[in-house]
Amino acid sequence: MASYRDRFPVFERVTYMNSCSQGALADSVRSAMESYMDGMDEFGSLWEAWAGKQEQVRGLLAQVFGTTPAEVAVTASASAAMNAIASSMFLEDGPRTVVTTSLEFPTAGQIWHAQAARGVSVEHVPAGPDHRLSIAAIADAIDDDTALVAVTHVCYRNGSMTDIKAIVDLAHSRGVPVLVDAYQSGGAVPIDFAELGADFLVGGCLKYMLGMPGVGFALVNSRSTSQLIPTATGWFAARDIFAMDIFGYDPAVDARRFEAGTPVVPSLYAVAAGLELLLDVGVANAWAATSVLHDELRAGITSLGGMVVTPAAAGEHGPMIGVAATDDGGLVRAMADDNVVVSHRDGNVRISPHFYNNSADVEAVLASMRRHRHLLA
């Protein structure tokens, strides 16, 4: 992975270990943004180029997740994707409970609770004190009134990773669809959507997928969701967006029906460049390189007397490692003074390497934590 590191100028200035918040900016992503601006200067409106860029992003996302472009909806955010999906459900008499977990990002809790006005109830299955989610507890929560199981792949607070395939198989055996939030794993951990079998998978492109804010996505299983038609919509969700029909609703038959209005065009340029670079690296290769750094970080933090709250076993942690702190915000600020960029949530400092990081970055993180050891829990 060393050959890619020079593509990310941020490493000339700081030790960047915060991909769980925003991926490092590659030179090609900056160039793509500049090409958008150059086109505006030279031609003004570039409608055909913009529409083509969205289709390019759709195709690249399909490659990343082992699916087809017809199963990819390009949205403005993961929230937009989830809201469109929610709007397609609970429209008739039937099950009205969403089973979710205590590990979710706020979006993934708030959107389901917002459906209370439509008679929907939400049950949160708690993770254990070790942040592991019990599949048996999910099984106990599913009953005849369960309309959906909505579960995060990797928790944004502590880096724990759930066995999504086991949950999909369990829920489907009870006739219940599954939505996966893969925002904290997409681009970092290999995910094959067809093999996973989930009904929906949502995420965004600004973290490990090397893009910028403004592009999210929903992967939509065509075999199990064709009957679901969103009521949250926009003209890009129409079967023929150039029909310009204001007298009816004729949604696309593929995943595009979960889209909305004009996309965030500048971000499409950035995301296309980021995804091309990610595919060149290979998600499996990125995950293999990151896993080595995880082991180095975990061993070093333990030697400092720190406590890694992220489960250690294979398949139980994602690309981010959480470290308990007595003052997580204070430790992040102190590390920033050492030119080490990390982040914090829920009492934990989050360290999130990607393929562009190396062992020297790990040493810089550990040296800064050693300097501020009094802030470790």
Give the domain CATH number at 69: 3.40.640.10
| 210 and 358 inside one domain | no
Tokens of 175: 């006739």
| 89 and 229 inside one domain | yes
The count of structural domains within the chain is 2
| 42 and 167 inside one domain | yes
Question: Which domain does 302 fall in, by range?
Answer: 2-25+282-375
- Using the 3D structure, point to which of 244, 278, 312 is the last residue of a domain: 278
pLDDT at position 93 is 87
| 254 and 293 inside one domain | no
Q: What percent of the chain has pLDDT over 70?
A: 100
| 239 and 310 inside one domain | no
pLDDT beyond 90 at 51: no
| 296 and 270 inside one domain | no
Tokens of 118: 């439509």
| 295 and 174 inside one domain | no
| 66 and 34 inside one domain | yes
Q: What percent of the chain has pLDDT over 90?
A: 93
What amino acid is encoded at 64 in this protein? V
Burial class (CB in 10 A: 0-12, 13-18, 19+), 73: buried
| Whole-number Å distance between alpha carbons of 30 and 51 | 20
pLDDT beyond 80 at 45: no
Strand order in the sheet with 216-220: 72-75, 216-220, 200-204, 178-181, 146-152, 97-101, 121-125
| 349 and 302 inside one domain | yes
Model's pTM, two decimal places? Answer: 0.96
| 78 and 215 inside one domain | yes
- Using the 3D structure, point to which of 216, 249, 278 is the last residue of a domain: 278
- Using the 3D structure, point to which of 278, 304, 325 is the last residue of a domain: 278
How do residues 229-286 score in pLDDT, each as one tens digit?
Answer: 999 999 999 999 889 889 999 999 999 999 999 999 999 999 999 999 999 999 999 9
| 68 and 124 inside one domain | yes
